[in-house]
Amino acid sequence: MKPLRRHQLIWLDEFGWYRTLATAASSASLSGQPTAADAMALECLEHWAEQRWPLVVTRQPGEPPAGESDLPVALGLAAPARWGRRAIGVSASARDVAGRDEFPFLAAVVPSLPISAQAGARALLEGLARLRVVARVYGSYGWQQLSGLEYVHSRSDLDLLFDVATGAQADRVCAALQAARLGPLRIDGELAFEDGGAVAWREWLRFRAGETDRVLVKRIAGASLEDAAAWVETA
């Protein structure tokens, strides 16, 4: 199985969904008296299965050995308002994975942003294009774009993911984000480096400004505080 990456979308095949739903239902029944939250989570998963919508890769127990095809894969979804906006986690077999993709590009999400943010978002897109960097949208706006269900509320941030190759490129992306004017809409998100580690863009700015010498680096198997300068050199 090819290596997984954070924020990657996974589509399950029919048998994969059957096993996932059966496991979720069994877990709820074994926990004693199923709660209303358990019932909502199962109902949400059943709807996802009917629509054949993707799940997202979450923290894995570790990188699978090369060639393994039946190891469990930790997946999840952020439920929409209809099901309480809760995080739902499941486990599926790697052999049940039918396809992979990524969250939508920012360009596709701009029309669904608040009117006050759309011009600024288009200007940000133009700046990123000059840097040869694309932005993908995860979080509330990303899930809403994928499903058409209600996710976004008045306090929702715009969560963006940027693949960057070097620290200098990360600096240029952050400069573009600082200059962006999206009205009251707050931009959150991460810079994803080629070594598989990712850092929140605002934390990157604090490191570059000399405010901290350690950064929280998020990886597929977890997150840890790392010496910023040493990590950037390695990444």
Residue with tokens 């990123």: 128
Q: Which amino acid is at 219?
A: R
Q: Are 163 and 204 in contact (CB under 8 A)?
A: no
Partners of 66 in the beta sheet?
Answer: none
User: Is 213 assigned a catalytic role?
Assistant: no
Catalytic residue among 13, 70, 101, 159: 159
Q: Is 137 helix (H, G, I), strand (E, B) or coil?
A: strand
CA pair distance 191, 163, nearest whole angstrom? 6
Residue 227 bears catalytic tag: no
Distance (Å, rounded) from C-alpha 86 to C-alpha 78? 6
Choice among 38, 96, 101, 157 that is catalytic: 157
Length of the chain: 235
Report yes or no: 46 and 79 within 8 Å, Cβ to Cβ: no
Query: What is the H or E stretch that residue 181 is in?
Result: none
Active site positions, annotated: 157, 159
